[in-house]
Structure 1
């Protein structure tokens, strides 16, 4: 497989999200008119093609992929974003010297390989302690197993973990309803809401959050505020330090 390749809106899921479970993927958002992009691009390409390189490089022309750039919060180019295990884990903006780029790459976690196989029904029974139940719920949500996550997170006992479980419950019910075909409706918002669930189930959180925010911006009372609560559930799943959480929490507050 090529270690340097072009990617776009249509192929990003396969090129970047799925491949990042095998190896870290750096995405270079650039444009032909951008001088700093022409300085940084060859550095990234040379590093990616080195025999012992630990990453592959996806090149995204931001002029030709404006929606994709918006989804990932690209505000200036060059913008290099690193994906590992389906998630955006780090980024930098501007033409950095090669030494800084190498330090950036060295800090990246390594991909863990293919996603863990689905557990049997016996293995997805609620764990005993609140902490174990919460972690079980998180793991099931990351596998896209909403109905099993509902079982782990509902009727949660009073504990320090209860607040986190409460925030995750709307997301669990949402993914469960999506898998059961219960997200009905024929409006544009209904269609976008279903598409967001599909994206989240395959761990494409950026697309899912972008689509959920689109629904909220169109109708803040959609399904009695359910879309907003689902977004808050995704924030809880990703963690407050995640760049997607920070960007979309700010957008949700506007």
Structure 2
């Protein structure tokens, strides 16, 4: 006997909710959409949920609950307003939100919960561009980021990656323009804002005469903490973050007049690099030890 595949989008009611949602969530993530025929935002959200669920593959399903016909279910899930979305995994409420959120935001909520979700082509292109940028092939990396942005002008990872390239090339106005396009509710926004600080590092370095001049000042006067701070700014503006963090940490440890600026600069670089970068964990620990 041939086993029929489970539907990915289906209606549920009080009679089959336990079987299809609670038990079904042991096998795959179940997105429960509480809606009503008279609800305008529900009509907007429904197709978006269907698109996201379809894109994430068989590891997730969409269960639709008409609250007019299933008021006890709505009460059990404490639905205060609709559309309301409850995401169930392994029989437990894993996430929830209310209102017609944008498609990108819904996917960002769901994707981490779906372990076998396929990687979208756009994300693959960005990963390739990130690798190219890391190996120094900035022109090809920029071209790939730009290809993504042609299809999606507000793609956060592509905007951020391209802005970093322009920063390395000294195109500060372009960096500012790209950063301003990063939406505030995206994971890339804090890093994008940190790029503005990096632009300031570059300006300070230029005003001080450049990295070589700052290094010469430090070599001649090792206790010149202003020169050491500026040398760190130069290093950071060139992407030499380890040297920058070392020099700023030195300033913080000496409790000089510039130690607050050095601390702020280190925190900005932490945001810029992201929590997964091993330098961040290392220098967060060292900064804490220097302060306390």
TM-score, L = length of structure 1: 0.42
Q: Which of the pair has more CA radius of gyration?
A: 2
Report the TM-score, using the length of structure 2 for normalisation: 0.37
Higher helix share: 2
